[in-house]
Amino acid sequence: GADAPNVHVLRSRDDASALAASMATAAAAGLPLVVIGGGFIGLEAAATARKKGLAVTVLEAQPRLLARALVPALSDWFATLHRSRGVDIVFDARVESLERDGAGPVRAVRLADGTRLPAGVVLVGVGVDADDALARAAGLECDRGVVVDDCARTADPHITAAGDCTVRRRADGSLLRLESVNNATEQGKSAAAALLGQARPFAGTPWFWSDQYDRKLQMAGLSAGADASVLRGSMDSGPFTLFHLHGDRLVAADSVNAAKDHLAVRKLLDAGVSPTRAQLADPAVDLAALTKPPAAAS
């Protein structure tokens, strides 16, 4: 049933327009949206649908939301946020089939446990495969994406690649794929420089964002591998930032409606500066000022 007219993916502007039209039709008929996948695409669409008055169910195969990107505390926070806005979330969900009337639209999503969820529109927001077919055909090294160095150069020095289709080989030999606007933009600059015979390594702090309802999540750095977190602000009542550390070294931070903290963290990470845990937790401490050199003695 995945080819039904009311089943959508969201990868392009045309996809977004088609989804919006289906959501309007479903809303007029009083039918719900079923979202398969509790990642950023699925949750942003769920938030938009709720604001338009649709009933929404999110089906997530993992035991928590955004497991690939966020620490458990933030996963729980987002689950609470969506449920407070009326979204039904099903964890450990296994989709068995999409039920439809012949060649018509899907009418329900059936789970492996027998649960049947009526649906007026379905969004499939799961799975990302890099389109590296052209690079493979050219004989370039690929590993779940086109392998590049910090200057966006592939295994062939005359060929560069940039964007979500790439994986960057880091100094320790590990591979990293960053799916973000910022990465594509900066990697594109590195690729252009490489084609001109110049070395412009892209090694800046990765950052991302997501808008859901009236909350803006801004992420800086990569929290994978962190062994401790420090909270600034309140996750219950207001803007907050959750800083992530490996030992005493700041490695990432997730900010919600706290743009000043986010910008400061990007500067701290770029400069390799790690405030103390007490400084991170204290809203009175100006984090951005910690990246400035001390004033010269008079």
Q: Does the pLDDT value for residue 275 go beyond 80? A: yes
Q: Does the pLDDT value for residue 298 go beyond 70? A: no
Q: What is the pLDDT of residues 65-112, one digit of tens each?
A: 999 899 999 999 999 999 999 999 999 999 999 999 888 999 999 999
Q: Does the pLDDT value for residue 119 go beyond 90? A: yes
- What are the distances in angstroms from CA 99 to CA 30, 38, 190, 232, 247? 18, 21, 47, 47, 50
For the chain, what is the mean pLDDT?
94
Whole-angstrom distance, CA of residue 148 vs CA of residue 96:
38
pLDDT mean over 197-208:
90
Give me the pLDDT at residue 204, please. Answer: 79
Give me the pLDDT at residue 153, please. Answer: 96
- What are the distances in angstroms from CA 280 to CA 33, 242, 250? 40, 9, 10
The reported pTM is: 0.90
Whole-angstrom distance, CA of residue 123 vs CA of residue 129:
17
